[in-house]
């Protein structure tokens, strides 16, 4: 729903995520430059809506000209964030009941970015068209890269056109739940217990290699998604619709049981009125981002 990413980041110990600053809607560009320079965030960096929608309006910013254009077009609050220096990304779903001291990992999704590999003859655009999944992104890639799609890559040269793992932006999701281990679970559980009252959700994590991640080093949180998050390993093309339904039901049951326990501790349920208000805010924000 209409959840501020910055408010969520503020709950997470800084050591786990990249430097991030909030830019308010309608801020003049001089103010944006001031925030950027005082933050020590470096080019290139990521700009993204504070209240997001499946990767929409997320952009890699290379210079002040691109930042100015983004700021001019953004009719919403947005974040500027240091680029995470690790190439691999996974989504890790975490569950802990309030009455339990330890949580567990219930699913892992690995993400293949939208990367083209040159043959020394074809343009980047031709390479995109050859992949049916990539071709669905051609319109937005033309808007973002323009004439650069006419570049011809050397044989074996790779170019990552969407450097973040979102399936709506061309990434392929692969179920990697077989990688759940006691070591990884301890790393994730220890980290999640540092986030106040975090019992259910998906952590999108970038990392250097799997051994380091299991050892709790060389990784960073991209985002933490709460009750509205999905166990995205269901989107692996090898899985059936029935598998997806079963996994969704399993995780909704976890969320239901957690909410019952929290309610017994005095946490109120979301009222119908509040829910409708949040839904309307979600639709309003979604329209802004989609039309970005």
Calculate the CA 253 to chain-centre distance: 24
| Confidence grade of residue 171 (pLDDT, cut at 50, 70, 90) | confident
Of 12-26, 47-61, 68-82, 269-283, the least confident: 47-61
Whether the predicted pLDDT of 2 surpasses 70: no
| Confidence grade of residue 110 (pLDDT, cut at 50, 70, 90) | very high
CATH superfamily of 5-82: ATP-grasp fold, A domain (3.30.1490.20)
Give the mean pLDDT of 222-227.
Answer: 92
Phi and psi at 15, nearest 5°, equal: -65, -15
Query: CB-based contacts of 227: which residues, under 8 Å, 6+ apart?
Result: 200, 201, 255
CATH superfamily of 88-115+160-290: ATP-grasp fold, B domain (3.30.470.20)
Q: Confirm if 36 and 21 have CB atoms less than 8 A apart.
A: yes
Check residue 39 and give its pLDDT: 93
Q: Higher model confidence: residue 284 or residue 90?
A: 90
Check residue 288 and give its pLDDT: 75
Answer whether 0.85 is exceeded by the pTM. yes
Check residue 55 and give its pLDDT: 67
Cα–Cα distance measured from residue 221 to residue 227, given in angstroms and rounded to the nearest whole number: 17
Check residue 143 and give its pLDDT: 85
Give the mean pLDDT of 168-197.
Answer: 94
Cα–Cα distance measured from residue 199 to residue 93, given in angstroms and rounded to the nearest whole number: 10
Check residue 170 and give its pLDDT: 76
Most confident listed range (1-15, 58-72, 246-260): 246-260
| Confidence grade of residue 280 (pLDDT, cut at 50, 70, 90) | confident
Whether the predicted pLDDT of 165 surpasses 70: no
Whether the predicted pLDDT of 1 surpasses 70: no
Hey, where are the domains in the chain? 5-82, 88-115+160-290, 116-159
């Amino acid at each position: 729903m209409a959840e501020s990413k910055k408010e969520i980041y503020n709950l997470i110990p800084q050591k786990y995520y990249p430097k991030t600053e909030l830019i308010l809607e309608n801020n003049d560009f001089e103010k944006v430059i001031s925030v950027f320079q005082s933050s020590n965030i470096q080019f290139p960096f990521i700009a993204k809506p504070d209240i997001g929608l499946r990767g929409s309006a997320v952009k890699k910013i290379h210079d002040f000209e691109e930042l100015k254009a983004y700021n001019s077009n953004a009719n919403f609050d947005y974040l500027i964030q240091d680029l995470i220096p690790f190439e691999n990304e996974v989504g890790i779903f975490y569950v802990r009941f309030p009455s339990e001291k330890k949580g567990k990992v219930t699913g892992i999704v690995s993400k293949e970015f939208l990367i083209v590999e040159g043959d020394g003859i074809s343009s980047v655009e031709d390479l995109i068209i050859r992949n049916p999944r990539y071709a669905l992104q051609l319109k937005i890639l033309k808007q973002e890269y323009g004439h650069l799609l006419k570049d011809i890559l050397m044989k074996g040269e790779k170019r990552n056109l969407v450097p973040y793992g979102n399936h709506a932006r061309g990434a392929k999701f692969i179920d990697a739940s077989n990688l759940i281990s006691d070591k990884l679970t301890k790393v994730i559980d220890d980290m999640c217990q540092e986030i106040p009252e975090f019992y259910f959700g998906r952590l999108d994590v970038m990392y250097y290699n799997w051994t380091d991640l299991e050892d709790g080093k060389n990784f960073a949180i991209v985002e933490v998604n709460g009750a509205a998050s999905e166990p995205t390993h269901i989107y692996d093309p090898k899985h059936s619709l029935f598998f997806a339904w079963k996994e969704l039901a399993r995780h909704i049951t976890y969320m239901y049981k957690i909410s019952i326990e929290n309610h017994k501790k005095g946490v109120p349920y979301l009222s119908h009125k509040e829910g409708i208000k949040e839904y309307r805010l979600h639709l309003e924000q979604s329209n802004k981002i989609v039309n970005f």
